[in-house]
Each structure stands twice: as structure tokens, then as C-alpha cells.
Amino acid sequence: MTTETYISIDTLRAQVYAAFAKSGVRPETARSVTDVIVAGERDNCKSHGIYRIEGCLRSVASGKANPTAVPVLKDSRKAIIEVDAAGGFSCPAYNTGRPTLIERAKELGMASLVIRDALHFSALWYEVEDLARTGLAVISMCPSYAFVAPAGGTTPLFGTNPFAFGYPRKGTHPYVFDFATSVAARGDMEMRRIAGEPIPEGWAIAPDGSPTTDAGEGLAGAMLPFGSHKGSAISSMIELMAGAMLGEFMSKEALDFAEGGPLPRHGALIIAFDPARFAHSSGRDPVAEGEVLINAMTDQGARLPSERRYAARKTAHTHGVLLSKTEITRLEAFAARGLGALDY
């Protein structure tokens, strides 16, 4: 007897939207948050799908997230575009700055979007893929909560600090990767804890600094950076560029401010480049040149980043999204009752 059921993407979207609308989230914000959560579930990125609804709603219920915040665009007409999220979610802030970022990057060759004072929960691939589809190359990064110890340390200092990249392609999905600078995303560890599954060795250490395969112990202790000192260095770069450089919280400050709330509040940095402008004097097509490299990867059997997401997306558009009975029950409760469905 199966405990999983396919539901249509439209049904999923309607229920996710209802969960936020019934919780007092302004319609524009509810739509943008819904788009990101549905995209995560559609692409079988479970750690950034409907699993994130509860954390978002708890942030609203606790007063850590402003459900009626209206992002404010600050455009100097130069390469740096700023959006103040005003204590709301990062998704509508991105949508507010997106048109100006695209216009400015194509005008100047490159531009950056600085998002300030935002509650962040979404996967960065959503934004870099979206921008890459407009012909831009993109990098995106942000700090998080201080859950990760630096290489050689035992005390959390860095966030999981995701980093994402997108590059345009012709006639197919953009080349996209998005990874936490910890060995694993915290959401993946949390889902293993909920499922009662162990974590692989090397993901985290227990509170006493000893290695552990227990997800609960790892969450209570410290997560570890991927690639030891290399991942640690990249994570520190993200703290500096998307935290200190912007005058926004770094991961330790975000955790202290939130007092352990479900979502981190900080800034984010997106930098967009127009490949055509950069390659102009060479007379070469930068997208075609990119295909030479990508084809050389796949010709020898390498799997491209995001291939599994794109395959899952194709399946979802044909059959719907596969959810467990527990997930459907919880989703329906949030859609019907909003904040009232939270188990305090």
C-alpha cells in the first residue's frame, strides 16, 4: 500500500499560497514565497520545498518576519542596486530589484543587487537560473546562521553559507550549481533527524567536539565545511562579501539577533554579468564557447549540476509532485488554518 500521492503543480501552488495568505502575509509576498517553495518541491529539492512552510510561518508568528513588509528599491543609477526588505522575506525583495539588475547589467556589463534586512530561506539556484535565462552570468551568495565550525575549530562561527552560479545556454536549461559551503545543507540534516536516519561521517561533530553520525547531535554541535580548509575559506569569503562588505549581519550576528528563531535575518549579494559585453572585443560568442566546455564534460559521461533537478521538473510537469500522506495532511492543515496549524 503506497503512502505517497501525486498532486498537480497547480494544486500545490494553491495550497501553499493559501497557507501564507491565511497567515496575514500580503498577497505579493505570498505569491513570491509560494513560487520559490513550489519550485523547490517541483524539482525534488525537498529541503527547500514545502518543508520550509513551517519555518516561514513560525517567523511570522514570532514577530521575526514582517508579513506586510513592502521592499524598497534604492537605485543610484550606478552598478550597485539596493533593495531594503524591511524585515520581510527575501523573495519579494529579489523580485523588486530584478528588473533593474537585468537592465543595469546589460547596460554596464555587470551590476550587483544588494538585498538588505531580509529573512532568507530559499535556495539560491532559483534566482541564478532565473537571471541566466535572460542571458546573464550570475553569482549569488549569502550568510546564514552560525552553525558551521571553521576547519580545525569546534565552535560554530560560519553559516552554511550557500554559493550559486548560473551561465546561459541556448535551447536548453542554464548551467547552474548551488551548494552550501558546509558538507551538507542544514535542511538535509534536519530532514534526516525527522526521519530518524543517521548522517554520514564527516558531516558534523557533537557538542563535545567528537565525530557523530547522529543528526540530532550534529545539529546541536557543529556542522563541518566541505573540503576542510578550502570550504572554510570560501565560507569566510561569503561572510565578508555578503555580510561585512554590505554592512549586514554575518552569521554569528544573525543567530544572536534571531535568538534561535527558525529563519536567519541578514543581507544577500547577487552579481550579474553580461557575457556579450565581456566578450565583445574578442569577436567570439561566449555562450557558444561555453557549450564547448559543457559538451566536453558530458561527452565523457560527467553529470552536469542541476541535471537531477531538471529531470524531476520534467516529471512533475507530466505527473505532478509526489508527496507523502504526512506531507499532504500537513500542507492541507496550513492551507486551511495558516498560523493556527502550527504546533506550538
Angle between helices 307-319 and 27-42 (to 10 degrees): 110
Q: How far apart are CA 260 and CA 295, in angstroms?
A: 45
pTM: 0.93
CA distance 32 to 127: 12
The identity of residue 258, as a single letter, is A
pLDDT of residue 259: 72
Characterize 180-216 residue by residue with b for buried, 16 or more Cβ atoms within 10 angstroms of its Cβ, and e for exposed. Answer: bbbbbbbbbbbebbeeeeebeeebbbbeeeeebbebe
**pLDDT of amino acid 261:** 66
Taking only the tens of pLDDT, the chain with its 344 residues reads 458 899 999 999 999 999 999 999 999 999 999 999 999 999 999 989 999 999 999 999 999 899 999 999 999 899 999 999 999 999 999 999 999 999 999 999 999 999 999 998 889 999 999 999 999 999 999 999 999 999 999 999 999 999 999 999 999 999 999 999 999 888 789 889 989 999 999 999 999 999 999 999 999 999 999 999 999 999 999 999 999 999 999 999 988 887 766 677 889 999 999 999 999 999 999 999 999 999 999 999 999 999 999 999 999 999 999 999 999 999 999 999 999 999 75
Active site residues: 47-48, 188
pLDDT for res 2: 56
Q: In b/e form, how buried is each residue of 102-139, taking b as 16+ CB within 10 angstroms?
A: bebbbeebbbbbbbbbbbbbbbbbbbbbbbbebbbbbb
Is-contact 112 126, C-beta < 8 A?
no
**Exposed / middle / buried, residue 262 (Cβ in 10 Å: 0-12, 13-18, 19+):** buried
Give the span between the Cα atoms of 38 and 40, in whole angstroms.
Answer: 5
Residues 6+ apart with CB under 8 A from 327: 50
Note the pLDDT of residue 1: 47
- Cβ–Cβ < 8 Å for 88, 119: yes
Q: With CA atoms as reference, report the closest residue to 108 among 242, 278, 261, 269.
A: 278
Sign (positive or negative) of CA dihedral 133, 67, 10, 43: positive
- In the chain, the domains with their CATH numbers are 1-68+307-344 (1.10.1530.10), 70-182+225-305 (3.30.1370.60)
d(CA 222, CA 147): 6
